[in-house]
Amino acid sequence: MDILYTAEALATGGGRNGHVRTTDGILDTDVRVPKELGGAGGAPNPELLFAAGYAACFHSALQSVARAQKVAIDGSSVGSRVNLGPNGQGGFGLSVQLEVNIPEVDPVVAQQLADAAHQVCPYSNATRGNIDVTVTAVDD
**Could you read off the pLDDT of 86-104 as tens digits, one per residue?**
999 999 999 999 999 999 9
Q: How confident is the model at residue 32 (pLDDT cuts 50, 70, 90)?
A: very high
Q: What is the mean pLDDT of the chain?
A: 96
Region 75-95 average pLDDT? 96
Please report the pLDDT score of residue 139 as a whole number.
Answer: 83
Classify residue 44 as exposed, middle or buried by CB count within 10 Å of its CB (0-12, 13-18, 19+).
middle
CATH architecture of 46-138: 2-Layer Sandwich (3.30)
Q: Rounded mean pLDDT of 111-122?
A: 98
Q: What angle do CA 91, 92, 98 make, to 5 degrees?
A: 160
Whether 140 shows a pLDDT value over 80: the answer reads no
pLDDT digits 0-9 by tens, 2-11: 999 999 999 9
Burial class (CB in 10 A: 0-12, 13-18, 19+), 26: exposed
Q: Could you tell me the residue ranges of all domains in the chain?
A: 1-44, 46-138
CATH architecture of 1-44: Single Sheet (2.20)
